[in-house]
Amino acid sequence: MARRNNMPFSPMSWHLVFTLIKLIEASGESLHKRMNLISEIIGDLVAKKNGMKKEKETPLALELEDRLDVLMADFLLLRENYQPTIENQEFIYGKQGDFETSYDCILNEIKSIIEEFPILDQDQVKEIMLSGEAHSKMNGGPL
C-alpha cells in the first residue's frame, strides 16, 4: 500500500488493523493468545511513534511516546506475571479475571491512542483487505 501524504506513517497500518480484527475474533480464546495479539498491536504503535519522531520531534510525538511508555510498562507487568496455570486450573480463575480486567484497561488505552493521534483513519481502514470472518462481515456477507 502506498504511503499517504496526510498519513506519512502508514506502512504498519495494515498490520495494526489486521491484528485489531484478529483480536476481536479471538475475544473468547486463551489469555496467552490475546496477550500475543496485544503485543503485536503495541509493537505497531511503537513503530508508528518511532516513524513520527524520525520525521519531526513534535510535542504530539513526545506525548505519544510518554503514553506508550506507560502502556508498555503495564504490558510488561502482565507478561512477567503470566503463568499457564491460570488458564487450566480452577483454583486460580480469579487471577484470570484480573488479567481480563487488565486487558480491558490496556485495550481502552490503545483505542484512545489510535483515536487521539494520527495513526489510522477510516478511509485507510476501509482500504485494507481483511481476511476471514471480518472481511466477510465488512462486505455484508454471512459470518
Partner 1 sequence: MIVRKSNIPESIRSKISQDANVYDPSLRRLEMVQVLAQNPKSDLTELSENECVDFALVRAFHDSKVIKLDAVILFFDYLKENRVSLNRKRTEEYLKGLIGQVNGQIQQGAYYGAPGTIEPEKKSIADRLMFWRQ
Output 42 or 130, the one with its CB closest to partner 1: 42
Output 70 or 129, the one with its CB closest to partner 1: 70
Residue 115 is a binding residue for partner 1 (CB under 8 A): no
26 close to 139: Cβ distance less than 8 angstroms? no
CA distance 42 to 65: 12
CA distance 121 to 134: 18
21 close to 130: Cβ distance less than 8 angstroms? yes
From the CB of 81, what's the least distance to partner 1, in Å?
5
Q: Which of 10, 13, 102, 124 binds partner 1 (CB under 8 A)?
A: 102
CA distance 142 to 88: 33
Residues that bind partner 1 (CB under 8 A): 63, 66-67, 70-71, 73-74, 77-78, 81, 83, 85-86, 89, 91-92, 94-95, 98-99, 101-102, 105-106, 108-109
